[in-house]
Structure 1
Amino acid sequence: MEGQRTPEILDYRNKNGHGWSFFKHDGILRSINTTPEDVTEMTRKVQKLELRDDDVLVAAYPKCGTHWLWEIVTMLKAGNSEYNKKAKEIAMLGMPKFERADELPSPRVLNSHLNFRHLPEKLVEKKIRTIFIMRNPKDVSVSLFNHLNGIKLSFRFDGTYSEFLDLFLEGKVASGDYVDYVKDWLQVKQDNPDLPMLTLFYENLKKDPVKNIKTVADFIGVPVSDELCEQIAEACSFKKLKSADTEVKEHTTNPLSMWKEGRQGVYRKGEVGDWKNWITVAQNEIFDNVIERRFEGTGIVFTYE
């Protein structure tokens, strides 16, 4: 995609017209609502972002617990269980507001859905503590479908879950291929032994939040009491976070404007195993075959219930 060459448009809409058209930029699917020049400029700005020695980065594919973990790490850094009023989006690398990350006081907790190669160049050199969280792909597919089906924006998905699942399993969604994304981050850990990196599973954090919050605290070098870990676990329970998120949006100038009526925010259920309410027996067999084949040799074992 050198110079001003027009990129090839990949039309991944199905026979019902549901889906998206993309172009590829550095191996990543990008919406045709943007341009290669815009993507190049955004990537350059992210890569040149000045990092601070005490920054922490949370990395995850969408709907894998990014908001949740960001709140937890922010509370640990602050030493209390109070919600941070600064919008998480300002600290989200690659999003429209991320250039305001310099406004955030240290210690910052940055977060991103980007691939490693598109993140700040000094990440390894500065040994920025990085936490990668992943979630079982069945629940990811259901959560991502509901997110994209619930918004009013141009990249929404108006089809059924079955239609979405076909695209998800082929990596033809706006977030890119889930398996490729996870494998890319697993490779990062192997290729960069000097990068302090902690890998977490959404399901483990859900099952035993206090234990996993203590693990995160140890990793980022924050001394904590069992009492504080319990307070943070309570404050970051799904119900409490959903309530806090709604409260913040109700005090913004354009509350919930991106969501269809009755669909209000990024927090839906947050359950482990909700996929059983969506995926048929036949679809589950296909899903298992795809995941088993594509994750073979990685040692990754997901928890589905």
Structure 2
Amino acid sequence: MPPSVIDHHQDAELSNNEAKEFLLSLPKERGWRTSHLYLFQNFWCQPKEIQAIISLQKHFQAQENDLLVATIPKSGTTWLKALAFAIVKRTHFNTSLSKTSHNDHPLLSSNPHDLVPFLEYKLYANGRIPDLSTLFHDQEPRLLATHLPFPSLPSSINSSDTCRVIYLCRNPLDNFISVWHFLKGMRPKTLPSLSFEDGFEMYCRGVVGFGPYWDHMLGYWQASLEQPQKVLFLKYEDMKEDISVHVKRIADFVGFPFSLEEEKNGVVEEIVRLCSFENLKELEVNKSGKSIACFENKSLFRKGEVGDWKNHLTPSMAERLNKVMEDKLAGSGLSFKKYVPV
């Protein structure tokens, strides 16, 4: 069963007055679904997230073999969580979707965000300091997730030689469209409307949750070059092109490689089908409920396609964002295919 959050004791890192004064000291910009985003530790986030992040950074203690799924929002997070869980837990549950066999796999009855919980959105949210020894009793590795940039991860993760981080990013053209569709319906009616053009302008300036996008990617990219045994850097488009190869790559990285017998018996393909967008989207658990506060599970599954940006961005918009990313990533060795509208 998925872990539940337990209030170990209330975290009083910042009193209400201190929190207000602290926010006043930070640069701010218009928010996507809140009145403002604040520049905290060189990335943009919402006020409630800041308190959780401070608590997380102070209290979280990494354990040997912890596995952290890291993404910027709307880059394939739900898919990667499902894959990581299915790969690591494959000897515990039946991964086959065959109608002739009984299947009680947790992914069929629990949203991936319940099985691989966010540190800042769930475990340390709302003043909680969870007792992780209780939540993850007898679970190894512990499967956790975050949207935090690499430099802002808890020091116990960054200093650990045995924690592993899987990072997934997405071409910024599609990422913007996914962010826009995800957040536009959640903007309170009490706030002024945010046009598509305004949202695009904010994104190009890096003003988006946990952005700038390029800084987020570069942090994990550089870490993957310096510590390839610790950080695995993946691209959404590459995974969509050949997911079986990447499932095996993830399994090798986390220390759970597929045996020849498993490959012969089609276990890789079973995991691919189990975690596919099409399968997850049609499950009842993903059509209702809120596994992440404020976000309905059904909103986590829109299209899952590569290239949907062509249906929304003008050629000049696409060219501008391509140019922004080329400039920001120049000299890093990280690049994306430059997609040109037809």
2:126 is aligned with 1:88: no
Structure-2 separation of matches of 1:110 and 1:257: 17
SS at match of 1:57: strand
Count of equivalent residues: 291
Distance 1:22-1:101 versus aligned 2 partners, 3 A rule:
same
Q: For the Cα contact (< 8 Å) 2:78–2:112, is it kept in 1?
A: no
In structure 1, the partner of 2:324 is: 290
2:137 is aligned with 1:112: no
Structure-1 separation of matches of 2:192 and 2:271: 34
TM-score, length-normalised on structure 2?
0.74
Distance 1:300-1:126 versus aligned 2 partners, 3 A rule:
closer
2:81 is aligned with 1:70: yes
Structure-2 separation of matches of 1:256 and 1:59: 16
Of 53, 56, 61, the residue aligned with 1:45 is 56
Distance 1:176-1:57 versus aligned 2 partners, 3 A rule:
same
Structure-2 separation of matches of 1:133 and 1:238: 16
Q: For the Cα contact (< 8 Å) 1:145–1:164, is it kept in 2?
A: yes
Of 270, 274, 290, the residue aligned with 1:235 is 274
Q: For the Cα contact (< 8 Å) 1:256–1:264, is it kept in 2?
A: no
Q: CA deviation at 1:264?
A: 3.2
In structure 2, the partner of 1:213 is: 247
In structure 1, the partner of 2:176 is: 141
2:30 is aligned with 1:12: yes
SS at match of 1:111: strand
In structure 1, the partner of 2:234 is: 200
Deviations 1:222-267 (A, max 9, x none): 13222111001011111111123x52553x4x7999469xx93211
In structure 1, the partner of 2:39 is: 24
2:168 is aligned with 1:129: no
Structure-2 separation of matches of 1:119 and 1:28: 12
In structure 1, the partner of 2:65 is: 54
Amino acid at match of 2:82: E
Structure-2 separation of matches of 1:60 and 1:155: 30
Amino acid at match of 2:212: D
Higher relative contact order (CA 8 A, sep 6+): 2
Structure-2 separation of matches of 1:168 and 1:101: 37
2:178 is aligned with 1:160: no
Of 280, 295, 304, the residue aligned with 2:314 is 280
SS at match of 1:298: coil
Amino acid at match of 1:302: F
Structure-1 separation of matches of 2:255 and 2:293: 39
- C-alpha RMSD over aligned residues: 3.2
Q: For the Cα contact (< 8 Å) 2:111–2:291, is it kept in 1?
A: no
Q: For the Cα contact (< 8 Å) 2:73–2:179, is it kept in 1?
A: yes
Deviations 1:186-211 (A, max 9, x none): 232345x3852211111111111111
Structure-1 separation of matches of 2:212 and 2:111: 30
Structure-1 separation of matches of 2:192 and 2:272: 33
Question: Which ranges of structure 1 fall in alignment gaps of 5 or more residues?
Answer: none
Distance 1:298-1:73 versus aligned 2 partners, 3 A rule:
same
Q: CA deviation at 1:219?
A: 0.9
Amino acid at match of 1:55: D
Structure-1 separation of matches of 2:291 and 2:168: 29
Q: Percent of aligned positions with the same letter in both sequences?
A: 24
